[in-house]
A = this chain, B = another copy of it.
Amino acid sequence: MTSCILSGELLHTLRAAGLRGAAYAALAAGSWTLATPAPAASTPTGHADASGLIGQVDAWRRAHEPAIVEQLDSLTRLKSIAADPAGRDAAADRLQALLRARGFAVRQLRAAPGTAALVFGSLGSPRATRTVVFYAHYDGQPVTPSQWRSDPFVPVMRNGPGAAATDVNWRERTGPLDPEWRLFGRAVADDKASIVAFLAAFDALAAAGHKPAVNVKVVWEGEEEAGSPHLEAILRANREQLASDLWLIGDAPVHQSRTPTLYFGARGSIDLEATVYGPLHALHDGHYGNWVPNPAVMAAELVSEMRDREGRILIPGFSDEVHEVPAAARAAVAQLPPVEDSLKREFGIGRSEGSEGLTASTLRPALNVRGLRSGQVGAEAANAIPADAVISIDFRLVPDQQPASVRRQVEAFLAARGWAVVSAPPDLETRLSHPRIISLSWDAGYPALRTDMSSAVARAVIGAADRAAGTQVALLPMMGGSVPIYLIAAICKAPIIGLPIVNHDDSQHAPNENLRLKNLWEGINTYAAMLGTLSW
């Protein structure tokens, strides 16, 4: 446990209210559990009791909203990003302590010293016949703090999502928190909210005397946003401990209609950073601008040759491995509430790429240009030919596409277009002997995965989610975003279903990431239904 995070005011209030001893200490240490769970007295809960259970969880949550938010605030302050290994390790230690306080056996699994820990916890339930792994990642995307309205690692509550939203001093609020409020900070939604929802659901069940209906395993990964470079090694090395009947993936947002959501697959991913070389150093573009090749122009041309404005990928062979979207997936998409018009307004866009709807578009592969950088713009712009241009791309892959194939196709395309493809900055002789040079840096990438939506376990998960929501949840055949679930499927041989809880408009992977409180409240119910009622 690295520090006491609950605010002094809140602790004072709770202490004044008569909270004492071990419960107070646990709360101050970042666990809000008010009573030690009494597993011997608790019982699994059948479907018939589910609505009562959800009611109990709801009531518990209403009584503990500030402590739940404090937990999320506290986790967000730990800078668990790739650029800050110490912050990442502190977060792993905190998570380990939180699980241990709830009776879990916990280990930090690492592929090698100095790499990010995967926090693994397990807790058996005597009469349970199924084992479920709850996955989330505790690392966040990189940040560009200057683009944030406030420090990415000092959470701020605001009364809404936009620039007009104002800060809220939620710790001074008496009564329930406004469910439309949002907490802003890196990783607050992606995925620390899922971790907090899991913990709150666990505690709510315990407080109500319910024990989990399944054996519970927890996998909290620490480098998902860096492409999960060590997940495979960790999974392979710990296959037996990780044995289970189901993985539930607490990553990604719910459908844009704000309906609670499940997803049954995710696109794969491979990242590419390409550097196009111009002259050895920037040159006066008045004296050389029609003669020395301009790498910004070369990069622009290359982007245009790879992808058109409708999102179609123009690289020959790129779609050779892409198959038709299955009819069941198309049917599930057709049942989703339409969101396109409201999203255009929300995003301030006058058109969309392609002619299909949003979710259908995510069933195709994508070439996303996430960054372009050459020379200078604005006040720093100088009349110079830049020395290079950098294109940062992430490809999203659909089932049956292999990262290695994508890499091969891109490199063949570049060679056919006359590019000399290198993997490091070229030396002078290389420069002089090739008209166009590009260096490529690929990550390992991973393929997509699609899970059968009609299996017994899928039906059980859908039923539990429906019970938690009190309505039919949205079923997505495949997330547009990528999580490395292909690896889990390949190594752990268990069905994998996505259990997202956060709002779609959470600015994840962007400045001002945020979590809408109502999503956290609904997420706690969903997690409670999975923990307390899941059976098949």
Contacts and interface: CB of A to CB of B under 8 A. Distances in A.
Interface string A269-299: 1010100011111111111111111101111
A9 interface: no
A144 B303 CA distance: 27
A525 interface: no
A200 B358 CA distance: 70
Contacts of A287: 252-253, 362, 479-481, 504
A286 B480 contact: yes
Nearest to A313: B290
B372 A374 contact: yes
Given A289-B366, A309-B298, A509-B282, A381 B376 contact: no
A219 interface: no
A301 interface: yes
Interface stretch (A168-176, A430-438, A457-465): A430-438
Nearest to A346: B280
Contact of A293 (B144, B309, B373, B389): B309
Interface stretch (A56-64, A129-137, A390-398): A390-398
Contacts of A382: 141-142, 370, 509-510
A370 B286 CA distance: 11
A76 to B, nearest CB: 17
A511 to B, nearest CB: 7
Q: Which residue of A290, A309, A431 has the most chain B CB atoms within 10 A of its CB atom?
A: A290
A-B residue pairs, 5 tightest by C-beta: A286-B481, A282-B510, A300-B303, A351-B435, A371-B375
A294 B307 CA distance: 11
Nearest to A482: B286
A368 B381 contact: no
Given A294-B369, A361-B291, A389-B372, A431 B253 contact: no
A348 B279 CA distance: 6
Contact of A297 (B309, B362, B383): B309
Contacts of A510: 281-284, 382, 384
A267 interface: yes
A40 interface: no
A428 B294 contact: no
A218 to B, nearest CB: 24
Nearest to A394: B383
Interface size range on A against B = 35 or more
A443 to B, nearest CB: 11
B392 A144 contact: no
A52 interface: no
Nearest to A252: B287
Contacts of A424: none
A476 to B, nearest CB: 10
A304 B300 contact: yes
A149 to B, nearest CB: 11
A431 B344 CA distance: 9
B369 A375 contact: yes
Nearest to A395: B289
Contact of A368 (B269, B294, B352, B373): B294
Contacts of A482: 286
Given A344-B432, A354-B291, A377-B372, A479 B286 contact: yes
Nearest to A510: B282
29 contacts: A83-B379, A142-B381, A142-B382, A267-B286, A273-B381, A281-B512, A285-B368, A286-B396, A286-B509, A287-B362, A289-B480, A290-B354, A291-B354, A291-B361, A292-B349, A294-B353, A294-B368, A296-B371, A297-B303, A301-B309, A349-B432, A370-B376, A375-B392, A376-B392, A377-B390, A381-B392, A383-B394, A383-B481, A383-B509
A281 B281 CA distance: 33
